[in-house]
Amino acid sequence: MIQTNSGLRSLVQSLRPMTSSLSKLEAYSCYTSQAASALQQATKPNSYREDEYAKVDWDNLGFGITPADFVYTMKCSIDGKFEQGELAPYGNVELSPSAAVLNYGQGLYEGTKAYRTDDGRLLLFRLDRNAARMKMGADSAGLLLQGKGLSPAPEYTFLIYASPVGNYFKEGLKPLSIYVEEEFHRATRGGAGGIKSITNYAPVLKAMARAKSRGFSDVLYLDSANKKNLEEVSSCNIFLVKGNVISTPATNGTILPGVTRRSIIEIARDHGYQVEERAIPLDELMDADEVFCTGTAVGVAPVGTITYQDRRVEYRVGEESVSRELYSILEGMKTGCH
């Protein structure tokens, strides 16, 4: 466990006023088309010493759980009112065997990243977007409605925990190799594919395991209705580049509206690219100049190859690629350099 004297405590304290009422988060939606204005400061500049923070081997950290010393919890009753939250030592959560989250999958989650700047500030990137998406997910899933039998739970717990993480993909910033999946589908129309429900991720594990056993990084899913249009990769959105045009599948209910996805769209438009959000046939993917993925966990990840049936296509990667340009701008914003 990572022992920190002030890092997580000050970060979580900064979140407490925001979590008291999710509806208030709508007031934070004051961003312009300039993605740089979306950077939020979680704590004020302060003087800090390196010995206040744990020594972490960042180069070999990976994308696992290395929990910090505190967890923040807050209860919400059936009437939608939150109780006073509290900080407690990181540890196991006690649940009833009949808990709705275990039996009926009634759970949502969000992930965001905090960055420490050279002068000691903690920065959170577009946290209001994550909170608004969680509120939308709760509304869509009917989590705070009363009923009988198979019905929403009478109480919910809002929980925040922190962990340092490295690159999501073992390849790091190296180009990914993606396999186009035809048998399994990530989501269907009218389902929960467009919200960050815990139920969305277990169905893709078998397809991912099969693809990785064949040497691929991840899986790209097609629409379940026609099996010809792109949806998204298991845990991230996908973009295509052809000339000066950047295309990405539209969020029509089956695709998660990623925060990084939206940021990349805004950055690209601000830098002269034409960005299209629409249905994208598989043929366009195989004819693209460049392909990349986006997400909170993956950042901006270049795709080197995509395999569909017996056809393997290679794409442009490297320093001169569009994805590297957008990645550099986005990371500069997240860390306070831009």
Q: How far apart are CA 64 and CA 85, in angstroms?
A: 26
Q: How far apart are CA 338 and CA 331, in angstroms?
A: 9
Q: One of 55, 81, 148, 196 is an active-site residue; which one?
A: 196
Distances from the Cα of 307 to the Cα of 34, 220, 317, angstroms: 35, 10, 16
Nearest to 18 by CA among 115, 144, 160, 142: 160
206 is a catalytic site residue: no
Q: How far apart are CA 70 and CA 227, in angstroms?
A: 45
Q: How far apart are CA 326 and CA 22, in angstroms?
A: 31
Residues 6+ apart with CB under 8 A from 96: none
Q: How far apart are CA 279 and CA 230, in angstroms?
A: 7
Q: Token pair 């046939």 is at which residue?
A: 281
Tell me the catalytic residues.
196
